[in-house]
Amino acid sequence: MTSLLPASEKDALKDLFQDAVETRENAYAPNSKFRVGAAILARDGSVYKGSNKEFTMNADHAEQRAINEALMAGQQPKDLMAVAVFGARGEVTDKNFEARLSPCGNCRQALHELNPEMLAVGAQGKGEIQAYRLKDELPDAYFREKELPSPPAALVTGDPLLDGALKARSRAYVPRSGQPVGAAVETDKGIFLGTRAEVSSFTSQAARMALGAAVEAGATIFHRLALVGGTEPETFERPASLPFDTFEALYHLAPDAEVLFPNESGVLESHKSLDFPGFLRSPAATRNR
């Protein structure tokens, strides 16, 4: 199944693999201790990176993070051409390059749903790579063409945080539910965005994706987070579901951050502290990055 690639294409994929190796350094994996980096190459030559984030026991995989960055940039799923993945525990050694690390089964399915022709790239010894077509790595995989609903337009509110959340909402990939969600987090390193992406059995949560992007960039102080849903272009709507572990992740990272999201009438409300169960407020539950 190894792809026979022209030299020029192989060189580009070597660069993509090196991006994954370097992105792994940004991983946050206090639970598994296994740090993973992923990089996705788009048809226009753009590269989108992500590393695994274990804010709670439900981890966000490196591939999920890279997919979210590509969607946030406005890339179409069919234009995602290759994904490179690299992972290791502890310090990286030559031994880590001896065998290719494949995307996990769930991530393979997620990537396959975006573009079955995508190449999956990994190591084949130090300085060498191998690549497979996702459709070859996942024979008889579930796939169907998806007609996506038109995303709601992004308003201009005058608040960069809210404008960011609305932009993220407009980039959601929600072929199953048709319920887009966008998030933005304001930090000491700027504002970072995340969108809802329904691929495989994963649904990437917008707020966790925004938090992951912020941590990826080295943010340590979190001021505000906005989370918005809805399909009407000129309104805020409360997301249809507010997964508990979204707020669990926020609490572990930034228990004092202000959280903005619409109430049931579509009016934005500010929450200085969410009503978490007591165990989340205990020192043992709060992880230090």
Contact 184, 158 (CB under 8 A): no
pLDDT at 109: 92
Percentage above 90 pLDDT, the chain: 55
CA proximity to 183, closest of 191, 173, 194:
194
pLDDT at 238: 87
Calculate the average pLDDT of the chain. Answer: 86
71: left (phi over 0), alpha (psi -120 to 50) or beta: alpha
Judge: domain 160-283, CATH 3.40.140.10. Answer: yes
Confidence class for position 5, pLDDT limits 50, 70, 90: low
Nearest-angstrom CA–CA distance, 198 and 186 = 25
Contact 224, 211 (CB under 8 A): no
Residue 93 has pLDDT above 80, yes or no: yes
The count of residues in the chain is 289
For 7-137, which CATH superfamily applies?
Cytidine Deaminase, domain 2 (3.40.140.10)
Please determine whether the domains at 7-137 and 160-283 fall in the same fold group of CATH: yes
pLDDT at 234: 73
Over residues 235-251, mean pLDDT: 83
Q: How many CB atoms lie within 10 A of CB 120?
A: 26
Nearest-angstrom CA–CA distance, 104 and 76 = 23
Residue found under tokens 């009503």: 275
Contact 245, 277 (CB under 8 A): no
pLDDT at 146: 67
Over residues 70-83, mean pLDDT: 95
Over residues 210-215, mean pLDDT: 96
Residue 122 has pLDDT above 60, yes or no: yes
Over residues 192-221, mean pLDDT: 93
> What residues does 261 pair with on adjacent strands?
269
Contact 231, 179 (CB under 8 A): yes
Contact 27, 37 (CB under 8 A): yes
Over residues 140-149, mean pLDDT: 70
pLDDT at 236: 85
Segments in 140-187 forming alpha helices (H): 160-170
Nearest-angstrom CA–CA distance, 73 and 68 = 9
Catalytically active residues are 63
- DSSP letter for each residue of 187-235: ETTEEEEEE-EEETTEEE-HHHHHHHHHHHTT---EEEEEEEE-S-TT-
Contact 216, 26 (CB under 8 A): yes
Residue-wise pLDDT for 17-37, tens only, equals 999 999 999 999 999 999 999
Residue 286 has pLDDT above 50, yes or no: no
Q: What token pair was written down for 164?
A: 């960011």
Domain assignments of the chain as residue spans, ordered by start: 7-137, 160-283
Q: Residue 22 burial (CB < 10 Å; 0-12/13-18/19+)?
A: middle
